[in-house]
Structure 1
Amino acid sequence: MNYTLTQIPERTLKPRQSGLTMVMDKGLSLREVEDFLSVSAEHTDIIKLGWATSFVTPRLKEKLAIYREAGIPVYFGGTLFEAFVVRKQFDEYRKLLDKYEMAYAEVSDGSIDMNQDDKCEYIRKLATQVTVLSEVGSKDEAKIIPPYKWIQLMKAELEAGAWKVIGEAREGGTVGLFRSSGEVRQGLVEEILTQVPFESILWEAPQKEQQVWFVKLLGANVNLGNIAPHEVIPLETIRLGLRGDTFSHFLDKE
């Protein structure tokens, strides 16, 4: 930090198990990646190449090398995993991870129907190769999953070998954990937390109001994802109580 302030919440240190900021790269150029990292690398824990953007991203290996040089792991979006699975190309997906030296992978079923046992088997297989993040929730805003099912899915996928389970929200934050307006499904989140440790969940929260809600509920070291590159520094100020939305949250009451 550039100067000293008291009553600032303590942040976990990288590499962290909680307090993660996952950033979504939806097609940054190499120069944009370098500029982004020059400002936000310290506050970025992991990068997701959104959905299947890696399929059409030029100079992909060079981009991955820049992130790797900065010490920030990258993974392909879960939609790419689904695109391979639905075409019966799972073995080719595994070879792809090796080809690009990926240390992380996302397993999801937000766009396809997948039996839970099959999903857990994919997690088990990939967990022998990479660190797995498993996404729970549908990308279809009309599909409402009851809280007990979220809990059951998250528990099963963690037991199958997922490092973190991701609460689905899409890039806009209008499905899954959230209503179409972006409002948090508060009862859902609170019920999930009665059964699943908060450190094991990475909540997709692309909107500022959503980030504020989770920081107020779970503190500075909540895991948050689908953060836009230009929102990493603003998010860190939210975590530290240095933005109006959380300004009083971490201050002593007296």
Structure 2
Amino acid sequence: MNYTLNNLPERTVKPREIGLSMIMDKGLSIRQVEDMLETAGVHIDMVKMGWATSYVTPNLKEKIEVYQSAGIPVYFGGTLFEAFLVRGQFDDYRRVLDKYNLSLAEVSDGSIELPHEEKCKYVSTLAQQVTVLSEVGSKDVEKIIPPYQWIELMQAELDAGAWKVIGEARESGSVGLFRSSGEVRSGLVQEILTKIPYEKIIWEAPQKAQQAWFIKLIGSNVNLGNIASNDIIPLETLRLGLRGDTFNHFLDV
């Protein structure tokens, strides 16, 4: 850091197992990626190329290599996995992972109906090829999953070989873990945490208020995802209690 401040919460360092910041790339140019990495690369643990944006992104291979050369793994959004799956192209999807030398993959069923046992089989199969992130939750705002089911689904997917499970919120932060207003379903989160270790969950939290809520609940080293590219450094200041939303939270600690 640029100078010394005492009594800040301790942050993990890369490569991290906890305290992860997963960034959402929704169509950045190579030049924008280079600029982002220059200023904030030290705070980025992984990058998700949102939903199926990788299908229409120009210079995809070169762009991925920019991230990888900075030591930052890239993966394609779970919607792309679902797009291949619903078309009967799972083996093609696996070949795409190899083509772009990806070390991570996301398995989800937020847009399709997929029996859970079958989803877990896809997790297990892909875990033999790459590190798997498995997303739990629906993109349908009308579909409310009770807490006990979130827990069962998360545990089964971890048992199937997922490295982390992701709590669904979309890039808007208005479904799954959150109400349509963006308010956290706090009872749901707290109940999940009674059974699933916080280290194993990445909470999608694109909005500042959501990020601050999770930091206050779990601590600086909570895993957070779907962070906008221009919110990376602001998030790190939230984690350290150097922004108004969390400023007083860590002073007693």
- Measure the CA separation in 2 of the matches of 1:153 and 1:143: 15
Partner of 1:161: 161
In structure 1, C-alpha distance between the alignment counterparts of 2:177 and 2:171, rounded to whole Å: 12
Distance (whole Å) between structure 2 residues aligned to residue 25 and residue 194 of structure 1: 32
Shift of 1:168: 0.1
Please state whether the residue corresponding to 1:244 is helix, strand or coil. coil
Structure 2 match to 1:196: 196
| Distance in 1, Cα, partners of 2:252 & 2:158 | 37
| One-letter code aligned to 1:147 | P
**CA deviation profile, 1:39-83 (whole Å, cap 9, x unmatched):** 110000000000000000000000011001100000000000000
Say if 2:172 is the partner of 1:207.
no
AA aligned to 1:27 is G
Matches within 5 A, 1:70-85: 70-85=70-85
Q: 1:7 offset after TM fit, Å?
A: 1.1
User: What is the distance in 2 between the residues matched to 1:93 and 1:217?
Assistant: 37
Q: Within 5 A, what are the aligned runs for 1:143-162?
A: 143-162=143-162
Name the counterpart of 2:21. Answer: 21
Partner Cα distance (2:252, 2:101) in 1:
47
The alignment partner of 1:48 has SS state of strand
Aligned to 1:5: 5
Work out the CA distance in 2 between the residues paired with 1:32 and 1:68: 15
Q: Which amino acid aligns with 1:138?
A: S
- Within the alignment, does 1:240 sit opposite 2:201 as a pair? no
SS at match of 1:156: helix
Contact 1:21 1:225 in 2 (8 A): yes
Write the deviation string for residues 192-234 of structure 1: whole angstroms up to 9, x where unpaired.
0000000000000000000000000000000000000100000
Aligned to 2:184: 184
Q: Which amino acid aligns with 1:217?
A: L
Letter in 1 for 2:17: Q
Quote the Cα distance in structure 1 between the aligned partners of 2:252 and 2:22. Answer: 30
Residues 21 and 224 of structure 1 are in contact (CA less than 8 Å); yes or no, is this contact kept in structure 2? yes
Query: Offset of 1:252 from its aligned partner?
Result: 2.6
- In structure 2, the residue corresponding to 1:32 is in which secondary structure? helix
Tell me, in whole angstroms, the C-alpha distance in 1 between the residues paired with 2:182 and 2:43: 25
- CA–CA distance in 1 between the matches of 2:208 and 2:93? 34
Q: Is the 8 A contact 1:12 1:18 kept in 2?
A: yes
Counterparts of 2:169 and 2:101 in 1: how far apart (Å)? Answer: 28
Secondary structure class of the residue paired with 2:203: strand
Kept in 2, the 8 Å contact 1:46–1:73? The answer is yes
Structure-2 residue corresponding to 1:32 = 32
Amino acid in the other structure paired with 2:94: R
- The one-letter amino acid of 1:61's match is K
1:104 matches 2:97: no
Unpaired runs of 5+ residues, structure 1, are none
Please say if residues 7 and 252 of structure 1, whose CA atoms lie closer than 8 Å, have aligned partners that are also in contact. no
Secondary structure of the 1:245 match is coil
Q: Any idea what SS the aligned residue of 2:245 has?
A: helix
Cα distance in 2 between the residues matched to 1:111 and 1:139: 6
1:148 Cα offset (Å): 0.4
The 5-angstrom pairing of residues 33-72 of structure 1 reads 33-72=33-72
SS of 2:177 mapped into structure 1: coil
**Alpha-carbon distance between aligned partners in 1 of 2:128 and 2:95, rounded to the nearest angstrom:** 13
Partners of 1:67 and 1:129 in 2: CA distance: 20
Structure 1 counterpart SS, 2:79: helix
C-alpha contact (below 8 Å) 1:24/1:50 kept by paired residues: yes
Which 4+ stretches in 1 moved above 2 angstroms?
none
Q: Give structure 2 stretches of 5+ with no counterpart.
A: none
Deviation at 1:10, TM superposition (A): 0.5
Within 2, Cα distance between the matches of 1:188 and 1:76? 27
SS at match of 1:250: coil
TM-score, normalised via structure 2 length: 0.99
